[in-house]
Structure 1
Amino acid sequence: MGENDSDYGNGQRGAYLLIAYYFMEIVLLTVNLVLLLVLLFLFIGRRQTKQWDELQTVLRQQMQENREELNRSIRELRMEITQTLSENIRHLQDAMYQNMRANGELQAQKFDELTKQQDKLVTSTEKRLDDMRVMVEEKLQKTLNERIGQSFEIVRSQLENVQKGLGEMQSLAQDVGGLKKVLSNVKRRGTFGEVQLGALLEQMLSPEQYAVNVKTKKSSTDFVEYAIKLPGKNDNEEVVYLPVDAKFPPDIYERYYDAFEAGDAAAMDACGKQLETVIKKMAKDIHEKYVDPPATTDFAIMFLPFENIYAEVIRRTTLVETLQKEYKIVVTGPTTLGAILNSLQMGFRTLAIQKRTSEVWSVLGAVKTEFGKFGGMLQKVQKNLQNAGDQLEEVMGKRTRAIERRLRQVEELPQDESRKILPLEAFDDDDDETTENP
């Protein structure tokens, strides 16, 4: 601030010197002009005297001196002005340099502050970016972990299902292996058919309606696997057996099915004929061993434990007719045997109802007789109750009034004295209860 005031004072002084210089120039010019006018006037008069010459000389000298003095003053003034201007210029340059340096320092300071602010902004931005990156990474990691966890859970459940399925397939393979072993052995195949037949009979009929391992033919030593008990014509007659035998010819059917899958018509015909031959032989065997009317029905049932074998046999209508006409054999599968057993069960129920009809009528007749006796007894009871009511009314009416007439003249005693004489507490209690509960 002091440097600026000094520069301002130097500038004012330089301005004053410049004004003085111009003023002196004007004064000198005016003096010279006056002298010129005087000389001109002297020249015009042409009457110059010695005094005028001296005066002219003096004037010239004076003008010369004035000129020299003016030149000297001008030079000094110029030198002073030049020096002042130089100083002013130097001060101005110094001031400008100081201002430029101050501005530079200020700009440098501002630039430093701006740089610091920019650094802070960059640092804050980087921190925020780091925070955002961490947050995004955490969210991504969390989402990724959840997705991976869900994927692992799905994979684990699927692996568990696969493992369970493998276990089921292994158990199924074992079951299939066991079934194959059963089906590959003739004795086991027969046992399998017997077990399935027994399950159907046990499910559809009661234990009293069928028998197991029955000798149906007296002249034979063979026992049929199962026989259904059918009632005779009269109640006193013995039951009539319906033989049911399970047969299982899978070998021929497997060869027939393989030929069908291969599309070999000749092999299919050959296997079909072999199947018919085996079925006829089985039907003949059942008829000769187990059918013996009147101890049995005039027909028997051949049970085939698989629907596909039954369907293949029943598809051959000529074979079915031959079995029914020549051997009196009815071929059934699991479904058809269930329907037959259901029909027999309905027949058993109808027959039981018919047998119980006479008993029902007898019971109803006895009830009717007893009800007639019961009506007569009710009439007698009604008459007795009516007579008792009449007698009670007579006692309560006439006899009571007669007693009251006799006792009117008798003086009544207090209740305490009367109770001492006649202990009639029970009657009083009864009267109280009657009064309370009319």
Structure 2
Amino acid sequence: MAIIYILLSAIILLLVITIVFAYRASTPKNDEALVGVKFQLDNIGMNLNKIEASVKEEISTNRTELTKSEKGTRDELSSSLKTFGDLISNSIKATTDLQKTQLETFSSHLAALTKTFEGKLQAFQETIVINSKESRKELKEALDTFKTDLNMSLKDFSERQRENFNNLIQTENTQTAATATKLDAMRDTVEKKIAALQEGNEKKLEEMRKTVDEKLHDTLEKRLGESFKLVSERLEAVHQGLGDMKQLAVGVGDLKRVLTNVKTRGVLGEYQLENILDQLLTNDQYGKNIKTKSASNALVEFAIKLPGREDTGKSVWLPVDSKFPKEDFELLMNAYDNGVPELIDEHRRNFVRGIKKCAGEICERYIDPPNTTDFAILFLPFESLYAEVLRTPGLFESLQKDCKIIITGPATLSALLSSLQMGFRTLAIEKRSSEVWDLLGAVKTEFGNFGNILDRTQKKLTEASNVIEQAGKRSRAIERRLRTVQEIPKEQAIIMLGELPELEEDTTDEIIDSLDS
């Protein structure tokens, strides 16, 4: 503004000097010449005012345009930065979703790919590396694209600004050299600020890129560490499960070997039968390896001792033998699993034939009345065997009717032994009932004698009560006579009468005993 005012002052001074010289050169000296000069001076002043107003208006217009241009530059820069931030966020989110999907797919297929874990793990690592490279590549391309767009925008903006400034410079050059100089200085300042802003944006973009790379690297390392830890835990659990399965397989193999051997299988049934008998009966209520048939040397595995006739005093044995027709039963179960009716019928007939054979052997070898009961017990060591016998129509009843054999499983044998034990107790109570009656008769006789003693005691107590009552009356009469006599101290009474014995607690008992005698 000072430069403009100086220019205006110089122009006015030149005009004044011109007017003075023109005035001196003119010959007219009259008033009309003065009026003309004054009129010219007024016109010059008006022109100067117009020029000053025009210059001020042009400067104000240039300032407004410059402000609008700077505001547009800031808006464009803010919009570009926002677009860049959205692009970065979308890229990070897409990368995160991609990594999450791959990790979930990897976890879901972990159990099925245990045997090929090392190869799949290597493929997974390569996939992660490729995805990381692609993510970095995409991020770098996005940054490069944004940088290119920003540079182009800034370049276009610079060119538009340069054109605007050139137009302003040309306009100002036509008006004043001072205005052109000022606009050149402003143009240089704006270019420097734009360059500084561009440099700051590049630095911020580089920092953002580094931050994104660090966060992406940390996230990948964390996710990979968690995945490896989970995989290690799952593999350890799988190894433990394999160890348990091996132990289970060894146990199943041992059990299979036990059940395959006929002798061992028989020992298993005998052991289970002995445990049941030992839990429910005492040692004197059953025997082991008993010869029950006089005409045979066959020994039954177990025999339950039952009370015999009172006149003989001899016990009666109940034979109990364990059988396990494993082969026929397994074939029948396999036929059930295969679902072939012909095989089921055939193997069921073989199974029934085997059960009847076992029952016939027990009936022939061990039943010998009156040394034994007229029936025996066939023990099946598994409930499934017993259930299959019950499933066969008429088998249980035919064995009981024809062979005098009762088939039991572990549960039914326990119930049968419990009922036998209750029978033992009933017989014992019946044997001791006569002794109980004799004891009650003796108690009744003694109780009658005890009643007589109570009556005599009551009489003696009544007599003693009467004597005490009479003594009380005599003592009260003596007390009435002694009311007029003055009492003396206890010490003097002891000196005069001597010390009298005190009444002890057992005096009453002695009195009752004396009265009884």
* TM-score category (smaller protein): 0.5 to 0.7
The match for 2:262 is 186
Deviation at residue 242 of structure 1 after TM alignment: 0.8
Contact 2:320 2:378 in 1 (8 A): yes
Distance 2:225 2:207 in 1: 26
> For residues 215-294 of structure 1, what are the structure 2 equivalents within 5 Å?
215-234=291-310, 237-258=313-334, 274-294=350-370
- Of residues 325-334 and 361-370 in structure 1, the stretch that sits farther from structure 2 once superposed is 361-370
* Residues 341-391 of structure 1: per-residue CA shift (max 9 Å, x gap): 333334334444544555555555555555444444444444444444443
Distance 2:474 2:327 in 1: 109
> Cα gap change, 1:391/1:96 in structure 2, threshold over 3 Å: closer, same or farther?
farther
**Rg (Cα) greater in structure:** 1
> Cα gap change, 1:262/1:131 in structure 2, threshold over 3 Å: closer, same or farther?
closer
Deviation at residue 102 of structure 1 after TM alignment: 4.1
The match for 2:10 is 10
The match for 2:234 is 155
Number of aligned residues: 366
Residue of structure 2 aligned with 1:105, choices 180, 185, 191: 185
Deviation at residue 243 of structure 1 after TM alignment: 0.2
RMSD: 4.7
* Residues 99-125 of structure 1: per-residue CA shift (max 9 Å, x gap): 544444355446545655675677568
| Secondary structure of 1:243 counterpart | strand
Distance 2:289 2:437 in 1: 39
Distance 1:416 1:95 in 2: 158
- Of residues 6-15 and 354-363 in structure 1, the stretch that sits farther from structure 2 once superposed is 354-363
Contact 2:378 2:406 in 1 (8 A): yes
Distance 2:463 2:27 in 1: 186
> Cα gap change, 1:96/1:224 in structure 2, threshold over 3 Å: closer, same or farther?
same
Distance 1:342 1:319 in 2: 25
Distance 1:407 1:229 in 2: 91
- What TM-score do you get using the length of structure 1 for normalisation? 0.64
Task: Give the letter for the 2:280 counterpart.
Answer: M
* Residues 123-169 of structure 1: per-residue CA shift (max 9 Å, x gap): 568657866876787677667756765x348625xx43x44543443
Distance 1:132 1:388 in 2: 119
Task: Give the letter for the 1:399 counterpart.
Answer: S
Q: Which runs of 5+ in 1 are unaligned?
A: 34-91, 431-438
Contact 1:287 1:327 in 2 (8 A): yes
Deviation at residue 98 of structure 1 after TM alignment: 4.6
> Cα gap change, 1:11/1:214 in structure 2, threshold over 3 Å: closer, same or farther?
same
The match for 2:100 is none
For the pair 1:348 / 2:424, whether they are aligned, the reply is yes
> Cα gap change, 1:93/1:286 in structure 2, threshold over 3 Å: closer, same or farther?
closer
Contact 1:3 1:95 in 2 (8 A): no
Percent of aligned positions that are identical: 38
The match for 1:201 is 277
> For residues 311-350 of structure 1, what are the structure 2 equivalents within 5 Å?
311-317=387-393, 320=396, 322-350=398-426
Contact 2:4 2:178 in 1 (8 A): no
Contact 2:374 2:404 in 1 (8 A): yes
Distance 2:471 2:209 in 1: 121
> Cα gap change, 1:270/1:6 in structure 2, threshold over 3 Å: closer, same or farther?
closer
Task: Give the letter for the 1:199 counterpart.
Answer: N
> Cα gap change, 1:202/1:5 in structure 2, threshold over 3 Å: closer, same or farther?
same
The match for 1:166 is 242
Distance 2:324 2:414 in 1: 18
Contact 1:4 1:95 in 2 (8 A): no
> Cα gap change, 1:32/1:189 in structure 2, threshold over 3 Å: closer, same or farther?
closer
Deviation at residue 321 of structure 1 after TM alignment: 5.1
Contact 1:216 1:292 in 2 (8 A): yes
Contact 1:197 1:303 in 2 (8 A): yes
Deviation at residue 8 of structure 1 after TM alignment: 4.0
Distance 1:304 1:327 in 2: 16
Greater relative CO, 1 or 2 (CA 8 Å, sep 6+): 1
Deviation at residue 230 of structure 1 after TM alignment: 2.0
> Cα gap change, 1:16/1:356 in structure 2, threshold over 3 Å: closer, same or farther?
farther
Deviation at residue 231 of structure 1 after TM alignment: 2.3
> Cα gap change, 1:274/1:427 in structure 2, threshold over 3 Å: closer, same or farther?
closer
> For residues 17-36 of structure 1, what are the structure 2 equivalents within 5 Å?
17-20=17-20
The match for 1:399 is 475
Residue of structure 1 aligned with 2:376, choices 300, 316, 340: 300
Q: Which runs of 5+ in 2 are unaligned?
A: 34-171, 506-517
Task: Give the letter for the 2:234 counterpart.
Answer: V
Deviation at residue 204 of structure 1 after TM alignment: 3.4
Distance 1:24 1:423 in 2: 185
